[in-house]
Amino acid sequence: MPDILLIDMDAFYASVEQARRPELRGLPVIVGGAAASRGVVSTASYEARACGVRTAMPTGQARRLCPQGVFLEVDMTAYQAVSGQVVEILGRFTDLVEPVSIDEAFLDVTGSRRLFGSAQQIAAQIQKLVHVELGLSSSIGIGPTRLLAKLAAELDKPGGLTTLTKADVHGRLRALPVGKLYGIGPVAVERLRLLGVATLGQLQDVPLPVLEASFAKAAATLKQLALGGGDEPVRAGHAPPKQLGHEVTFSCDVTDEGALHACLLDLCDRSATSLRGKGLCCRTVSVKLRDEHFHTFGAQRTLQTPTSATGLIFQTASALLCELHSDGRPLRLIGVSLSGLCVEAPQLAFEDSWRQRASDAAVDAVRAKYGKAALRRAGADLAPYRQRSDLVPGARTEDE
C-alpha cells in the first residue's frame, strides 16, 4: 500500500498575514475584497471564524458578524511566494510532490520511509519545519489513496495529523455526509438526497442501477468515491495550464460600450502577457459576462492558428463582446479566458505582424524590469470601474 500525504495549510492567506505582521496574531483577520462593495471573504483566520465568518461570505456580512475584524486585501504575490517555500520543504522528503492549489499538495512518501521513518513520522517532521521556518500551521492527512489522504486532512483542523485506512471506509467513515467527498457538491448532494442517500455508507449500499438512473456514467465514479477512491498516482510537479484568464466584477453595473471595451482590452492585455510569460500560445478566446440578475453567459471563438499577440486576442474578444452585448443590458462582470494552449509555435498567424510582436515584446520587457503596473495599453482604462477604488476616499488608484 502506498503512503500518500495531503498537506493543507490552515487558513492560509490569513495565516501568512499574521506570520509577517506579528501585531495581527490573535486578532480576527479577514482577507479578501476589503475595499470592494461586492467582495467576498477569501480566508478568515480562526479567530474570525469564531464570529461565524466563512470563506465565500460577502464582505458586508462578515463586517456585521465581526465588526472588530481586521480586513485585508488579497496579496496573491506574497501568498504564492510562501507557497513556493512550503513546496521546497516538502521536496526535502520526496521528489513526488504534486501541488494541487496554492495551499495544498499531495506527496507520495512510500519510497522515503527507509530514510525518514514512517509516513506519520514524516508528516510530523513536515509540520514542525513548516511551523519553525515559516511560522505557519498545517493539517496533514495520510492514506493509501489521494481521496483518503484528503479526507483525513479535513477530519482534524487546524494542526491535525490523521491517518485513514481502507478499513475505515467500511467503519468510522460510513456516517460521513456525502458532501464531504471531493467532487460531490451541493447539486449532487441534493440529487443523492432524493435517492435516500445522505451518508458515505448509504452510498456504498445503494445498488448501482439505482445510481445510474440518476447519474448515468457518473454513477461508477460515485461508487468509487464511496469505496475510498481509485489509485491515481501522485505526479511530480505542476500540471501544465490548460486555460488562463482574468475577470473583474464592477463596483456598479456598467452599460457603457466604450467602458466595457476599455476594460476588455486591459483583461486581454494581462492575459496575453502571462501567456507569453509562460512561452505559450492560445487557439481559443472566450468572453464571459454576468448581468445585473447574476445570469452568466459567454461565447468563444477558435482561431485558425495559435497566437499570443495582444492585438489579435483583443480583436477577437472585442467581436465576441459586441455579439454578446447587443442588447446593452447592465453588466456586473466581464472576463476573458484563453484556452487551447500550446507551446509557442514558429508558425505565426497572418495577423501576427512583426510590428505587433515587437510591440508586445517591448511591453513585456518593460514590465519584467519595472513591474506589471509600469505600462498600460492606450485605451485599457480600468480605473473608474474597478472595485471601489473610485468610491473610497484616499484609496489607491490605478495611477502609476
- Residues contributing to the site for DNA (CB under 7 A): 32-33, 36-40, 42, 55-56, 58, 60-61, 64, 100-104, 150, 181-189, 216-218, 239, 241-249, 274, 283-284, 293-294, 296-302, 332-333, 335, 337, 340, 387
Residues 389, 398 contacting (CB under 8 angstroms): yes
Smallest distance, Å, CB 22 to DNA?
Answer: 25
Of 283 and 357, the one with the shorter C-beta distance to DNA is: 283
Look up cell 490523521; give the residue.
162
Residue 47 C-beta: closest distance to DNA, Å: 20
Residues annotated as catalytic (active site), given as ranges: 104
Q: Which of 56, 43, 130, 142 is nearest to 92 (CA)?
A: 130
Closest to DNA by CB, 112 or 336:
336
Select 104 or 269, whichever has its Cβ closest to DNA. Answer: 104
- Residue 187 CB, shortest distance to DNA, in Å, is 3
Cell 500525504 sits on residue: 5
Count, residues in the chain: 400
Environment class of 175 (CB within 10 Å of its CB; exposed 0-12, middle 13-18, buried 19+): exposed
SS3 readout for 324-392: HCCCCCCEEEEEEEEECCEECCCCCCCCCCHHHHHHHHHHHHHHHHHCHHHCCCCCCCCHHHCCCCCCC
Q: What does the DSSP 8-state code read for residue 53?
A: -
Closest CA to 119 of 130, 151, 103, 127: 127
Closest Cα to residue 4, out of 158, 167, 128, 120?
120
Nearer to DNA, 117 or 298 (CB): 298
Rounded least distance, CB 36 to DNA, Å:
7
Q: Which residues pair with 232 in a beta bridge?
A: none
Residue among 112 and 280 whose Cβ is closer to DNA: 280
> What does the alpha-carbon distance between residue 382 and residue 391 come to, in Å, rounded to a whole number?
14
Work out how close the CB of 239 gets to DNA at its nearest, in angstroms, rounded to a whole number: 7
CB-based contact 382:263 (threshold 8 Å): yes
CB of 64 to DNA, least distance (A): 7
Q: To which residue does cell 474570525 refer? A: 48
In the complex with DNA, which residue's Cβ is closer, 114 or 293? 293
Q: Which is nearer to DNA, 21 or 64 (CB)?
A: 64
DSSP-derived letter for residue 159 is: T
Query: Could you give the CA distance from residue 58 to residue 66 in angstroms, rounded to a whole number?
Result: 12
Long-range contacts of 15-19 (CB under 8 A, 24+ apart): 15/45, 15/136, 15/137, 16/78, 16/79, 16/82, 16/136, 17/72, 17/75, 18/45, 19/134, 19/135, 19/136
Q: Which three cell numbers stand for residue 223?
A: 461508487
**Which run of H or of E encompasses 105?**
strand 104-108
Calpha distance 57→4 (Å, rounded): 32
Nearest CB to DNA, comparing residues 247 and 344: 247
The nearest distance, CB 387 to DNA, in angstroms, is 6
| Residue 291 Cβ vs DNA, minimum distance, rounded to whole Å | 10
